[in-house]
Amino acid sequence: MSTEMNQEPFDGAQGKPGDDRAVDLVLRPQNWDDYVGQDKVKRNLKVILGAALKRKEACDHLLFFGQAGLGKTTLANLVALELGAPLRITSGPALEKMADLAAVLTNLNAGDVLFVDEVHRLNRLIEEVLYPAMEMRKLHLVVGKGPAARTVTMDLPPFTLVAATTRPNLLSAPLRSRFGASFKLDYYEVVDIEAIVRRSARLLGVQIDDKAISIIARASRYTPRTANRLLRRARDYAEVHGTGVIDEAAALKTMEMLEIDELGLDSHDRRILEIIIDKFGGGPVGLATLGAAMNEDAGVIEDVYEPYLMSIGLLTRTPGGRKVTEAAYQHLGRSHQAKML
Ligand code: ADP
């Protein structure tokens, strides 16, 4: 068992798990001012944290949900910082057995913040042990087997669970109801992403001009982690092919090399749209059928790719399945004629 977070959430169509993790840590905001955007979330969160501090009580359990790379882990760090408590990090898949959860919970000190990433991947058995731990700070453990089995109850110190998920709809209602507050992280505004890219460039010690910042921000899928990774790729390009300064030409060339278009779509995103157009007449097509046609896990399409395609209006969900929009035809330079053939 590991209490380290061993799985970086998959970063959309444009990255691999664990990609450039060390740099990710360098760029992670360490205070509220550096955490750009998400103003409503920050405001509401600060009220809850402030109230808990004033009462000198453990803060309510918190749930953060939203796409990978939008800042859930960063926010959990800030929560711990604000509460003056260490952040203990684990994840749904790491808590596979009862013993895993018991080890994590019994090692907590009063006031600790426990971060569970990918909480939707907890199995039901573990979830059921978590309920009384969250609600009453009791850990019920079954010791022994068969007729000799008995339940031992342990008291836990006051702690705050901060959970993150990309798929809140997969959480069971009882688990969801045990969070005092939940916060949805949305895609960022372009100006916010621009501010993030500017700050990251400063931290990385790389010069970048405004046009390049704008190109990267627009290609970032409105997602900070993607923006930071595109910045690093542009830095690589500028170091190898230019003077080290990221200008408009270097930024454009980087996007071209990565096959990322001006809407931030990469080849995989475009393939999803193309397959729906070419094989299914533009849709509607069911997710499972689409997954089979793409040789891709339907859950990955649903979780990783389609939220962004839907958010920019290229894909819609209808009762009959997924359907591409007129804007998608236009973006791909296709006409509806092609659909009729
Ligand atoms: P998640 O947990 O939602 O997958 P992270 O919190 O790991 O996302 O964020 C990924 C990276 O994006 C962080 O390392 C950080 O550099 C950057 N980042 C995320 N949110 C913000 C923000 N609001 N302001 C500045 N940088 C951010």
Same domain? For 105 and 160 the reply is yes
74 CA closest ligand 1 atom index: 6
Burial of 68: CB neighbours in 10 Å, binned 0-12, 13-18, 19+: buried
Is residue 16 included in any domain, yes or no? no
**What's the pTM value of the predicted model, to 2 decimals?**
0.88
Work out the average pLDDT over 130-142: 93
Does pLDDT of 11 surpass 60?
no
Same domain? For 52 and 177 the reply is yes
Same domain? For 103 and 152 the reply is yes
Does pLDDT of 15 surpass 80?
no
- In the chain, how many domains are there? 3
The residue nearest atom 20 of ligand 1, judged by CA position, is 71
| Cβ contact 179:131 at 8 Å | no
In 242-305, alpha helices (H): 248-257, 267-280, 287-294, 298-300
pLDDT tens digits along 167-200: 998 999 999 999 999 999 999 999 999 999 999 9
Same domain? For 44 and 156 the reply is yes
Sign of CA dihedral 282, 288, 289, 290: positive
Its domain, for residue 236, covers 190-257
Choice among 11, 20, 24, 72 that is catalytic:
72
Same domain? For 57 and 167 the reply is yes
The CA R_g of the chain, rounded to the nearest whole Å, is: 22
**Quick one: pLDDT at residue 253?**
96
Same domain? For 136 and 152 the reply is yes
Is residue 15 included in any domain, yes or no? no
CA of 98 to the centre of ligand 1 (A): 31
pLDDT confidence of 146, banded at 50, 70, 90? confident
248-257 and 224-241 are packed helices; what angle lies between their axes, rounded to 10 degrees? 110
| Cβ contact 239:280 at 8 Å | no
Same domain? For 155 and 200 the reply is no
**Quick one: pLDDT at residue 19?**
52
pLDDT tens digits along 117-127: 999 999 999 99
Spatial CB neighbours of 208, under 8 Å, sequence gap ≥ 6: 197, 198, 201, 231, 234, 245, 246, 247
Question: Which residues form ligand 1's pocket by a CB distance below 6 Å?
Answer: 9, 24, 27-29, 35-38, 68-74, 164, 196, 224-225, 228
Of the residues 239, 257, 275, the one at which a domain ends: 257
CA of 133 to the centre of ligand 1 (A): 29
The residue nearest atom 19 of ligand 1, judged by CA position, is 71
Is residue 131 included in any domain, yes or no? yes
Q: Catalytic annotation on 137?
A: no
CA of 221 to the centre of ligand 1 (A): 13
**Quick one: pLDDT at residue 148?**
86
Of the residues 151, 184, 217, the one at which a domain ends: 184
Is residue 11 included in any domain, yes or no? no
| Cβ contact 219:203 at 8 Å | no
Is residue 8 included in any domain, yes or no? no
Does pLDDT of 21 surpass 90?
no
Same domain? For 167 and 227 the reply is no
Same domain? For 288 and 321 the reply is yes
Same domain? For 85 and 100 the reply is yes
CB atoms within 10 A of CB 324: 27
Is residue 135 included in any domain, yes or no? yes
CA of 186 to the centre of ligand 1 (A): 12
Q: Catalytic annotation on 225?
A: yes
pLDDT confidence of 34, banded at 50, 70, 90? very high
CB atoms within 10 A of CB 165: 24
pLDDT confidence of 43, banded at 50, 70, 90? very high
Q: Catalytic annotation on 73?
A: yes
CA angle 215, 221, 223 (to 5 degrees): 105
